Amino acid sequence: MTNAFHYSCEGESHKATGKVCQDHSLTCSVDGLTVAIVCDGHGGERYFRSDIGSKCAADATLEAVTYFAEQVGDTLFENKPFTAVGPTTTLKDAKDLSAVDKAFRQLFSSIIYRWNEKIKQHAQTVAITEWEKANVPPKYLEEFSKSESFEKQYGCTLMAYVQTPTYWFAFHIGDGKCISFQENPIWKEPIPWDDRCFLNKTTSLCDTSAIEEFRYCYQGDGHFPWAILLGSDGLDDSFGETDNLANFYVQILKMLANEGQPATEASLQETLPQLSKIGSKDDMSVACVYDDTALHAHVVDLIQYQINLVTDKIHNADSRIRSAKKKLSSYSKLKFLDEKTKIEISYAKKEVSSSNEERNNLLFKHDSLMGQLSLMLSKNTKE
């Protein structure tokens, strides 16, 4: 059975400045169509209505993909193997666009159009507020008042996953990360990355060439990810390396399997604000779709993945310890130590000490995970 849930929370830095949460997430699963969406409104002063923009983008996307799924039926993706397409700038002039590529371009046009209609309606019905008068530079308010299009003020990113009984697809414009879980490799980023999303720069629905900035993937040969998680960049920036983010998602999936969805959602609502505080300070959003049966069948794989990850890190720590000790050994043969060598010796000693400490922590994690694995294997044997 396919389940879905989502959660967004205000970032720690937003609390300090009185800004509302500019992320918006959404999931729904109705009549065989499951959708997960995460939108992240831009934080700059010019984008002062991006919280509304991200909600409009999520609503527009849900409408557009629902219509899309009804219209294209099952034939468009029939037997299509997993296919991933990067930013479509290179495709726009191609004469031989596939039927799927054409359908996606139409879908993205529809989303942009619907989003523009929604933000236009909002802009024309909601006058500049007292908060905006007090907090937004006059030049941006003037731009808003004089403008007939409002993309910049409502600018945001968009990431979506759509699943039907016969196919699935996902698409993305902007930053944040989408991670899918399947047989092999256990996790991957199915949607190609866009190198224009770098540090605090991102592509956006409000860009003039937004339609060319969408990237996407799809599959219609009967294979589905058994779980997929969409996270805004606030989450991504808290973990740095994608391995760490995937490991957090593994924790979510393990908790779903062990403690059920309500407990996991409650834990997520408690955890994301904490994570924002110790991590990126940004708004945080997660949207998750998972197959409950497949999830239970893969818990052992998830634990094994974490064990492998920790084992690799133990090997890395071992390697650093060996290398530092080798340096120390070579220095011990010197009769005269110049200043530079003394500094290098001091660093090598620190490296041994910090790597040993890290190794001990990792061994503790390894033991804890081995305990979880053993428990799960014995539970599976009894069943």
Partner 1 sequence: MGLLDETVSVPRRTMTIFFLIDTSGSMEGNKIGAVNDAVVNVLPMISEISDTNPDAEIKVAALEFSSGTTWLYDEPKLASDFVWQDVVAGGLTSLGQACQDLSAKLSRSGFMKSASGSFAPAIILLSDGGPTDDYQSGLRKLKDNNWFKAAIKIAIAIGDDADKDVLKDFTGSSEAVITVHNIEALKQIIRVVAVTSSQIGSKSSTAGDTTKQDQVIKDVQDATKNIDGAEGGDSTSANNVDSSQYIDDWG
Interface residues with partner 1 (CB under 8 A)?
A: 13, 17, 43-46, 137, 177, 195, 198-201, 233, 236-242, 244-245, 247-248, 251-252, 254-255, 258-259, 267-268, 271, 274-275, 278-282, 306, 310, 339-340, 343, 346-347, 350, 361, 364-365, 368-369
As measured in angstroms, the least distance from the Cβ of 213 to partner 1 is 17
As measured in angstroms, the least distance from the Cβ of 361 to partner 1 is 8
CB closer to partner 1 out of 105 and 365: 365
Whole-angstrom Cα distance, residue 381 to residue 373?
Answer: 12
For residue 194, CA distances in Å to 63, 87, 169, 176, 315 come to 26, 7, 18, 11, 32
CB closer to partner 1 out of 69 and 265: 265
Give the pair of three-digit tokens for residue 234. Answer: 């606030």
**Rg, the chain, Cα only:** 24
Strand partners for 301: none
As measured in angstroms, the least distance from the Cβ of 45 to partner 1 is 5
Q: Which residues of 28-58 are buried (b: 16+ CB within 10 A; e: fewer)?
A: ebeeebbbbbbbbbbbeebbbbbbbbbbbbb
Whole-angstrom Cα distance, residue 180 to residue 187?
Answer: 5
As measured in angstroms, the least distance from the Cβ of 220 to partner 1 is 31
CB closer to partner 1 out of 80 and 365: 365
How many C-beta atoms lie closer than 10 Å to residue 288's C-beta? 26
| Pairing of β 168-173 and β 215-219 | antiparallel
CB closer to partner 1 out of 112 and 229: 229
Sorted by sequence, the CB contacts under 8 Å of residue 247 that are 6+ apart come out as 239, 306, 309
CB closer to partner 1 out of 146 and 201: 201
Give the pair of three-digit tokens for residue 154. Answer: 């409502």
CB closer to partner 1 out of 170 and 369: 369
As measured in angstroms, the least distance from the Cβ of 172 to partner 1 is 15
CB closer to partner 1 out of 45 and 74: 45
As measured in angstroms, the least distance from the Cβ of 5 to partner 1 is 14
CB closer to partner 1 out of 29 and 361: 361
As measured in angstroms, the least distance from the Cβ of 102 to partner 1 is 32
As measured in angstroms, the least distance from the Cβ of 369 to partner 1 is 7
For residue 5, CA distances in Å to 166, 171, 275 come to 21, 18, 19
Collapsing DSSP to helix, strand or coil, 153 comes out as: coil
CA distance from start to end of the chain: 20
Please tell me whether the peptide bond between 87 and the residue prior to it is cis, using omega within 30 degrees of 0: no
